Amino acid sequence: MIGNGPGTIAPTSRIVGRSLLTRVLVPTAALWIAVVGAGFLVVDVLALDEYAINAAFEDARTPALNDVSAVVSRLGDTEVLIATCLLVAAFIWWQSRQWWFGMVPVLALGLQAIVFMTSSIVVGRSRPEVEPLSHAPPTSSFPSGHTGATAAAYLAFALCASRIRHMGLRVTIQVVCVVMPVAMAVSRVYRGMHHPTDVVMGLVVGTTCALIAWNWLPMRDAAERAVEATATDTKG
């Protein structure tokens, strides 16, 4: 195989290594610092009281909305979202024949999980003082993990869908993928699981992780071009 030659591995490895540092690790670290800083500002410095908003959502509850919000919230559960992400990633890989393209949603979700898990431990915000409609996970309230994970995965899907040639299909998929994180954010506040600022920060985290993962993609393309260019030189 041409791709296994010594002349092709080194250029690709260098490109991949640099891209992981400058395009993934550095911006993710900056995002983590921003999230923790915002958390301390909201919880400790401002001591923001958002009870009135949570109480208004609690008063607006109806059996029908409870059922709808339960379905939406369920779509953001860890096992459901991981399964969805892996299936979509496999489909993208199968259609594009480019593993690095299929990795975009997986990378986005993975980065979000790291930022969410570690920052929520540091901030340690308590859940809203309203009756919850869902079982509270052991993590703290800030930022919203369901919202962040949904935003990371579905916005990564939307970015990947930008390569669909059929405009009607492309726009439909992208609209659904943009609406889904917003619906998740509203659902989590409605169900008494998060303060409004928790879901806002969740949207910020998920969106940023999706963009970081998408920004990683051109470096995969560059790595592939390096392999092809080296292979052409070798043949020549």
Secondary structure string (H, E, C) spanning 66-114: HHHHHHHHHCCCHHHHHHHHHHHHHHHHHHHCCHHHHHHHHHHHHHHHH
Q: Is 118 helix (H, G, I), strand (E, B) or coil?
A: helix
User: What pLDDT score does 4 carry?
Assistant: 35
pLDDT per residue of the chain (236 residues) written in tens, 0 to 9: 223 333 344 445 555 566 677 888 999 999 999 999 999 999 999 999 999 999 999 999 999 999 999 999 999 999 999 999 999 999 999 998 888 889 999 999 999 999 999 999 999 999 999 999 988 877 889 999 999 999 999 999 999 999 999 999 999 999 999 999 999 999 999 999 999 999 999 999 999 999 999 988 766 566 556 555 555 555 55
> What is the maximum span of the chain, computed from C-alpha positions, in angstroms?
74
Q: What is the pLDDT of residue 11?
A: 45
Query: Distance of CA 134 to CAs 11, 27, 98, 194, 198, Å?
Result: 50, 33, 39, 11, 16
Comparing CA positions, the residue from 144, 159, 179, 148 lying closest to residue 105 is 159
pLDDT (0 to 100) of residue 10: 42
| Predicted TM-score (pTM) of this structure | 0.85
Backbone angles phi, psi at 16, to 5 degrees: -65, -45
